[in-house]
Amino acid sequence: MRHPRIPAPLLLLAALLTATAAGAHPREELFTKVFPLGKCNGFSNVGENDYMVIDPGHVLRLEGDDDGEHVELVITVLDQIEVVAGVATRVVEERESKDGELVEVSRNFLARCNANDNIFYFGEDVDIYEDGVIVSHDGAWRVGSNGAKAGVLMPGQIFLGSGYYQEVAPGVAEDRARILSRSDTFVTPAGTFHNVLVTDEDSALSPGHVEKKRYARGTGLIQDSVLLLVDFHPAP
């Protein structure tokens, strides 16, 4: 998953503002953090729910300007499987570039719950680049390692106001989301979308930095903060 890298002074300022900011996330206890995977009756590594697709060949490309840099994010559902904690997950690759230079590649491990169509997040491998060289793997985690557990990347059933952890890797990756709307109309360079899901997403590790994301039915992510969908190719 694309992880914004925020300067420490901004994190402190954001934390101070969070206490009174309108529209900030609700209290910590209102985010679901424990998910009963046993009720899934198994997992699938293909298919989709209303707002996320994990069929191989599905590709999204988002672009936008962030602090004077042109950012491109390409999300590709690969024809690859990764077994994590005994579950055969689908590998979804994200490649992020700034001004044409690759800055991050992540390989996300996802699986769809057979019982309710929740798409669970089982971890990710992360390569952070500088000048074409891998310099770190910050943000990498896997279920079963160092206390990490599966989170829900996209629920199969949408309940307005609900909050849920997408990543449950203590001290490493603790992204979470809150559902704001599922009836939005939103215009992107790739077209106009209706019945759009709108979320606020942040991290328990930096709760003051909230980003808006939007997801379209049958397509997936169409807005990631300043990035907008410019092109997409459905799975064949």
Domain range summary for the chain, segments of one domain joined by +? 24-233
H or E element at residue 175:
strand 175-188
SS3 state at 214: strand
Lowest-pLDDT choice from 2-11, 43-52, 61-70, 139-148: 2-11
Lowest-pLDDT choice from 6-10, 16-20, 33-37, 121-125: 16-20
Comparing C-alpha atoms, which of 38, 48, 28, 55 is closest to residue 149? Answer: 38
Distance CA 187, CA 220 (A): 14
| Degrees to nearest 5, angle at CA 71 with 66 and 76 | 140
H or E element at residue 49:
none
Return the half-sphere exposure (C-beta side, CA atoms, 13 A cut-off) of residue 75.
Answer: 29
Give tens-digit pLDDT for 85-110. 999 999 999 999 999 999 999 999 99
Give tens-digit pLDDT for 208-230. 889 999 999 999 999 999 999 99
SS in 3 state form for 110-124?
EEEECCCCCEEEEEE
Distance CA 163, CA 28 (A): 9
- What predicted TM-score, i.e. pTM, was given to this entire model? 0.89
* pLDDT at 17 (0 to 100): 39
* pLDDT at 105 (0 to 100): 98
For residue 206, pLDDT beyond 70: yes
β-bridge pairing 31-32 and 163-165: parallel
At residue 142, what is the residue type? R
